[in-house]
Structure 1
C-alpha cells in the first residue's frame, strides 16, 4: 500500500473514531434524568391530592416527551408498598385510593433504597 492510501485510511478511521466518541459523550451528558417515583398513598385530603395529581401529570407529560424517564412507580403507606407494572396515565393515577397514616420510617427506607427516587407526598 502506498503512503497516500495509508494516510487516507488513517484520516477516515480517526474521523469515524472521533464521531463515535462524540456520540457517546453527547448521549451521556445530555441524557434525560431517570426517576423512580415514590408515591405516598397515605390518607390525603382531596384538595392536596389534586396538587399531587398535577405534579404527577407534569412528570408524566415530560416522560411522554422523553425529557425524563420514569423507571417505575412505587406506591407506599404504613400498610405496605406496591410496585406498579406499568406507568399509569394521569386519569388512572387519579383513581388511586389513599388510606392509612404517613410512615416516615418507610419513606426513609425507600429513599435510601432508591437514590434516584422522586417522592410525591401530601405531607
Structure 2
C-alpha cells in the first residue's frame, strides 16, 4: 500500500464514521492550513479532522490541540497509535492499525461539541 492509498483509506473511514452516526450527518470538506479538513456541516456538532501526507511517507490525522482529543485517545488507546504530541495520529502505509479504535476516535472528534 502506498501513502496515497492509505490517505484515501483514512479519508473514506472519516466519511464512513459520519454516515454511521446520525448525530454527525454530512461533512464539509475544506482546506485548513493547507490540509484537507472534514467538519460536520451541522453547526455545533464536532471538531474538525484533518489529513496530511507527510514528507517521510506517513499520513497524519490531525485534531485541534486545544480540544485535548489526542490526550483522551492516549488514555483510551495507549498503544494503538503512533501519537505526535497533542495533535496527531500518524500512520505508515502497509502497517496495520486498530480500525475500530480509530473509528471511535474519529467519532469522538466529529461529535466533540455535543453533550456526551
TM-score by length of 2: 0.27
TM-score by length of 1: 0.26
Larger relative helix fraction: 1
Larger relative strand fraction: 2
Greater relative contact order (CA < 8 Å, ≥ 6 in sequence): 1
Larger radius of gyration: 1
